[in-house]
Each structure stands twice: as structure tokens, then as C-alpha cells.
A and B are shown apart, each in its own frame.
Chain A
Amino acid sequence: MRASLKVSVLPLVGLLACALILSAQSSKQDAAKAPSAPASPHDLSGVWTMHAPTSARGYIGDTFTKDEPAMTPWGEEQYKATKPSNGPRTHTLDTTDDPVLRSCLPPGVPRIYLQPFPLQIVQTPNEVIILYEYDHTVRHIYTDLQKHPDDLTPTYMGHSIGHWEGDKLVVDTTGFNDTTWLDRTGHRHSDQLHVVERFQRTGRDTLQVDISMDDSKALAKPWVSQLVFQLKPDWKIMEQNCADNGSFANFEK
């Protein structure tokens, strides 16, 4: 009796084991096929590349809006004096006075977004770090500071603090020097520049950054723009050295 039970149960046990294995494999395949879960709106991490809408492709590589920003007389005068490489007043590499192309100076904020390379966002409990591929440029956005330090030393990339307003990371940057340009077409700013960026993950693969530039000396009113970035899960940030640009001034003569 016991022997016959063994004989009759064994095939059932085998079938059950096979069913469990198949079921586990099927679950794995389903999980692989299933779309990734929506990202947390407070998770901005990943490698992102700018994704310009078709309507903006005529200018977005060079500047922030189709129309000129409202400039003060001082800003207008400064703009007319520049010799950009990009945009409608294009100059060759050996004649441009673009500080990035001539001297490899840091692009500043928000121009760094117009340098045609991706960026990576890394989040820690105390800061959001943006690693721009262009020339190893790094920004530290301090989320553990309530305000900027007093008497800031002017820098190319400024001093950034950030806080969350709902689903938006609001980044306030000040403390700039007046060496950088606002864009690649030669719009200049003063050391009064104040930039506010609002980062919002509008979808699993989409990041929107609303930018407002305020500079009472150079701009008659704030210059606002909206940039959209696409998540690139398979991309890695690579090396890119501005110093290599020097070899091209002669090449293009």
C-alpha cells in the first residue's frame, strides 16, 4: 500500500515542481516585459540629454529663446561688442572672443546647458550634484543650506542652493563673476546675475527645467526659458576636454 502510494504521488510531485519552475520563469519574463515603474518625482537621478522640440531646433543649441531677450542699454552695448562663434553673428574660431572657445573658461550658468553634451544628476541627502559631460563641469546644489553665504566670492558657476516645492526642485544661484556669457550667441551678464531653475520630472523619461535669468544691469526684464531633457538609461558620462579645442583654431582657417 505504502509502495503504491509512493508510486502514485511521485509523478504528482514532479509535475508540481515543473509547474512551479515554469511559473517562476514566466513571472521573470513578465517582469522583464513590464514597463518600469514610474519614477518618484523627487528622483532626478540619471543621465539626461537635451530634447529640443521641433519648434526650438533653430536656436536651442545656441540660445534660450527664439526672440532676443529684453536688454538694458548696457546689455545691448555689451552684446553688440561680442564676437560669438555660434548664432547669426558667427565668427571663425580664430576671430571669436567667446570665453569658452578662446580661453576654455567655464561656461557658467545657464550657458552650460547649451554645451552640446549630456549631464548626470546625482542626489545625496545634502546636495544635488550635476555632472555635465562638457569639460568635467560640476555643480553642487546645496539642499542643506537655507540661504547663500554672505559676501560670496564671485565664481564662474556661482553658488547654488536648492529646496523642494511640491514636485519641483527650485535651485537658486548667485555669486557669479561677469566673465561668462548667458548663451553661445554673445549675450553678456554682470555680476548681478541671479538664476532660478525649477527642475521637474514630468514623466519617467522626461525632465523639464524652467530657467529664469535676472540681471538688473544687463537685462531689462527676466529672461525665461524652458528646456526639456530625455532620460538615457544606457548612457554613461564620458571624458570631454575643452583643452583639446585649441588644435582647431588653425584647422579651420
Chain B
Amino acid sequence: MKTRVLALLAIAVLAVTGTAFAHHGAAAYDMAKPVTVKGVVTDFQFINPHVLITIDVKGDDGSVQKWQGELTSPNHLARAGWTKSTIKLGDTITLMGAGAKSGSSTIWIRKIVGANGEPVSLGGGGDN
């Protein structure tokens, strides 16, 4: 229930901010499809146009599924205090956002809960 509420909150945030933070539209994602995944960071690319985070998500049966999350530009995140070391390999984090229409294990990230259990600020980078 808590996860669902958080996911809905994430979508609400997206609805308010729109797609203005992105260099392109959100056609690949279903805004009505909130997704929350928790896993271990295996890759973190602090690159343009959008920052990418890859995590390994362990299923109840012990199987591991790779999820890739897309964030805004590193420029906007840098203005919120991020560096290329903000997310560390091996950290267990939670990604919340919109799922891919294609059904692939990708997510448009709107919220992150860090290894310490606290939300990681995605900033705003101003209004654009």
C-alpha cells in the first residue's frame, strides 16, 4: 500500500512538472503505469542527455532482473548537488517512476530512495 501511494505520488509530481525537464517527450513511458523497484546498483552513468542508473532486482524466487532507470540531464542534477559519485555501485536503492510502454524493464525515474533510506533530491534545476 505504501509503495503504491509513493508511486502515485511520483506520478503526481510528474504531472505537475510535466516533461519540461526532459530533452525529449515521454512517448516511451506510460504515465499511468507507476513502477517501484528496489535493487543493487550495477551501473551509474552521469551523462547527457539523461542520466542512467542500472540496478539488479532480486525476485522472491532468487532470480535477478536487471532494471534501467532514466533521469533528467546531469546538468540539472549537478545544480541539485549531484556529482558522478552521488550514486555508488553496490548501493541498494529504490527507483520510483513511470514504466515503459514496451514492457521492458526500464523506468522514467521521478523519485529515488537512497542506500540510507532517505529520498535523494532530484532538484529542479530551476523551472526548466
**A residues whose Cβ falls under 8 Å from a Cβ of B:** 49-52, 57-58, 60-62, 84-87, 90-93, 96, 98, 101, 115-118, 133, 184, 230, 232, 235, 238-242, 244-245, 248, 251-253
Contact = CB atoms under 8 A, between A and B. Distances in A.
Interface SS of B by simple majority: loop
B73 A253 contact: no
A118 B21 CA distance: 12
A90 B25 contact: yes
Contacts of A115: 23
A194 B127 CA distance: 28
26 contacts: A62-B18, A62-B19, A62-B20, A85-B27, A86-B19, A86-B24, A90-B27, A92-B27, A92-B28, A93-B24, A96-B25, A101-B24, A116-B20, A116-B21, A116-B22, A117-B73, A184-B25, A230-B127, A238-B75, A238-B78, A239-B48, A242-B49, A244-B49, A251-B70, A252-B28, A253-B102
A241 B68 contact: no
A238 B79 CA distance: 10
B126 interface: yes
Contact of A84 (B16, B22, B25, B47): B25
B37 to A, nearest CB: 17
Given A86-B19, A118-B128, A93 B28 contact: yes
Interface of B: 16-28, 47-50, 52, 68, 70, 73, 75-76, 78-79, 100, 102, 104, 106, 125-128
A90 B24 CA distance: 9
A232 B19 CA distance: 22
B49 A60 contact: no
Contacts of A239: 48
Contacts of B75: 117, 133, 238, 240
Choose among B17, B18, B20, B76 the residue with the greatest number of A CB atoms under 10 Å from its CB.
B20
Contact of B126 (A62, A101, A232, A242): A232
A118 B67 CA distance: 31
A86 B19 CA distance: 8
Given A52-B127, A90-B26, A251-B52, 20 more contacts: A49-B125, A49-B127, A52-B128, A57-B17, A58-B18, A60-B20, A86-B24, A86-B25, A90-B25, A91-B25, A116-B20, A116-B23, A232-B126, A238-B75, A238-B78, A240-B75, A241-B48, A245-B48, A248-B24, A253-B28
Contacts of A117: 73, 75, 128
Contacts of A61: 18-21, 128
B10 to A, nearest CB: 17
